Amino acid sequence: MSYQIAVFQDLKTSYATWDALQTYLTSPEGGNIRVVGEGRYRILRYVKGISDLNTPHGKWMRSVIWDTESNVPVCVAPSKAEKGDIKTGENVYYPIVQPFLDGTMVNVFVTKDDPTKLQIATRTQLGAAGKFYSEKTFAQMFEEALGAMNLTQQDLLQLLTLPAGPFVSSFASFVLQHPDHRVVTRVSSPRLWLVHTGSVNESGVVDMNESSGNSRIDLPLYRAQGPMEPHFQSDKALASFFDNACKTQGWFFQGLVFKDGKGNRWRMRNPNYLYLRSLRGSEATPMDRFLRLRSESKVTEYLKHYYEDRQIFWDLEQTLRAKTKEVFDGYCSVHKSHDKKLEDLPWSVRPCVFKLHAHYLEHLRPNNEKVLMKNAVELVNNLAVYEQKRLLTSATGLTSTTGQASA
């Protein structure tokens, strides 16, 4: 299914140069769109809570790669999902209903200037050199997914062959799934799912295609038990359809995407998936995730679903307990045996020893009580997460940066 997007042609017509267009897009009138990069190609993207998505181009600025020399887009990611409930009724039809897959959006494109050079980007970074859960970059994981699917860059170049005519670029958007970059859904092998392909002509008009015709890479259509009818007579029928999908697909099923074939899409999310996603959180490193879950008393619940983190979480717990013992021993050395001064202790435990003595002076001494190990445990358990992190990062062999939060 194909359609055209004319909104970028309108921008090019109204703002003949890149400088003029950039000034407009980054202004309140243009929607406060963020421009990323310094070279010929820039990424245009909206920022949640800052950008105005009510402009004609707003929803398309999820991630657009712009050629500043030709002043046209060369790659356009899927638009922002529409707000509000999915419409139902006799005159409402969704020709495409697909699973809402877990993963990372990766875009690739070629230009007429160099049609054999495949360029790659995530939504926020040209070159896809960012990292998050893994030490591997998204570009590396993309290459591994190609290999796992017995695909090559030549296969992608063939997919992105420029159409005949005045076209300046051809592009494709994929969902990348990789075992080393698990969000919620478990993935046994790296793979790519094609979301759409497109091409841009000299005027800025974008031709979009929702399918390549290659079942190896195309996003599958979602089908319930029996033929799927993406025409829902009532809200009740839609709810029943979605509830059945969630029950049959399980907790790791994110939901469904409904497309009208004109570039608009709506999403329904599985509440069980959202719960698992909230457990996972937004932290890039296991240490940050562990400390947040520990403060919420949710470590055990988390490990029921993300059991691959059991060993590293246990190592972190053991390390934190050892540092707690170090706090207590340091307190005893300074305030009981008096064989050390506070400044003789490791810098990471000094604040805790100071707080522990303040607790003694205010609460324990008036009752003729002594500082015990349980007081140190209580103190460390009630520290702010950033203070607990300071204790952990001071431990030999542990760091807080196993990934870079950049996609």
The DSSP line for 99-153 is E---SEEEEEEEETTEEEEEEEEESS-BT---BSSSSS-HHHHHHHHHHHTT--H
Look at residue 40 in the predicted model and tell me its pLDDT.
Answer: 96
Location of structure tokens 């053991």: 318
H or E element that contains 317: helix 310-335
Q: Which residues of the chain have pLDDT under 70?
A: 215, 223-230, 395-407
Q: Give the CA distances from residue 250 to residues 62, 270, 276, 301, in Å, rounded to whole numbers and listed in that order.
A: 29, 9, 12, 17
In this structure, how many other beta carbons lie within 10 angstroms of the beta carbon of residue 233? 12
Look at residue 85 in the predicted model and tell me its pLDDT.
Answer: 85
Between CA 206 and CA 170 the distance in angstroms is 10
Phi, psi of 84 (to 5 degrees): 90, 175
H or E element that contains 4: strand 2-5
Closest CA to 157 of 145, 141, 169, 140: 169
Q: What is the pTM of this model?
A: 0.86
Between CA 140 and CA 133 the distance in angstroms is 13
What residues have CB less than 8 Å from 338, skipping those under 6 apart? Answer: none
Look at residue 406 in the predicted model and tell me its pLDDT.
Answer: 53
Mind listing the domains of the chain with CATH numbers?
A: 2-81+102-211 (3.30.470.30), 85-97+219-278 (no CATH), 286-393 (no CATH)
Between CA 271 and CA 287 the distance in angstroms is 26
